[in-house]
Amino acid sequence: MKLESLELTGFKSFAQKTKFSFHEGLTEIVGPNGSGKSNIIEAIRWVLGEKSAKNLRGEKMPDIIFSGSAGHNSLNRAIVKLNFDNSDHYINIDYTELSIAREIFKNGESNYYINNKICRLKDINNLFMDSGIGQGSFSIISQGNVENIFNSKPEDRRYIVETLAGIYKYKNQKQETNAKLDENNRNLIRINDIIHELK
């Protein structure tokens, strides 16, 4: 799988639709201070499900919408889209082209999309779980991240190793299954109580 392009409209300093296409090899983004380099990385983090406005250097999520500049009025909506080439079916879906998108409006209303169809964040998380790309993965190492990893508690470091080794997905599934088993056990107890009352 390969990240082919990133499209931004109304995200932070990118008022107009802007498309970054990524080619084979290394891509380096250079530009003067304040030209929007970090905004590009933040857009990727945001579309993958970042929930904290603070992590995107804002107070609240709608702050990421273009707030106006000398030649441009502010906008009411931001949308970011990531396009992947999935012809090797690294992500386990039938499609060879995969896109995920997230949009937000000034009133805070927000939507996620997989291949232009509305979905839940959970669907995106499930899609990318253990791919090394999703939310909380280490595909984006920001300033200070490496130091944080070194200084983290052993159990937090264990989580990192488990995520990288692909174990986390199964731990997550086990947790969900155990929760369902608990629910079923509670239902059984209730049914037994009712049977007992009816006798």
Calpha distance 173→148 (Å, rounded): 28
The answer to whether the beta carbons of residues 62 and 105 sit under 8 Å apart is yes
Question: Measured from the CB atom, is 13 or 135 closer to ligand ATP?
Answer: 13
What minimum distance in Å lies between the beta carbon of 45 and ligand ATP?
Answer: 12
Q: Is 21 annotated as a binding residue?
A: no
Give, as one character, the DSSP assignment of residue 81. E
* Beta partners for residue 117, in sequence order: 114
* Residues making contact with ligand ATP (CB under 6 A): 12-13, 31, 33-39, 63-67
Q: Is 86 annotated as a binding residue?
A: no
Calpha distance 142→122 (Å, rounded): 24
Question: Measured from the CB atom, is 13 or 131 closer to ligand ATP?
Answer: 13
Q: Is 151 annotated as a binding residue?
A: no
Q: Which residue has the tokens 């939507």?
A: 111
What minimum distance in Å lies between the beta carbon of 36 and ligand ATP?
Answer: 4
Q: Is 36 annotated as a binding residue?
A: yes
Q: Is 76 annotated as a binding residue?
A: no
Kindly give, in sequence order, each residue whose CB lies less than 8 Å from that of residue 189, ignoring residues fewer than 6 positions away: none
Question: Measured from the CB atom, is 94 or 147 closer to ligand ATP?
Answer: 147
Tokens standing for 77? 């909506």
Q: Give, to the nearest 10 degrees, the angle between helix 154-165 and helix 168-198.
A: 100
What minimum distance in Å lies between the beta carbon of 57 and ligand ATP?
Answer: 7
Question: Measured from the CB atom, is 49 or 58 closer to ligand ATP?
Answer: 58
What minimum distance in Å lies between the beta carbon of 66 and ligand ATP?
Answer: 4
Pick out the residues of the known binding site for ATP: 32-39
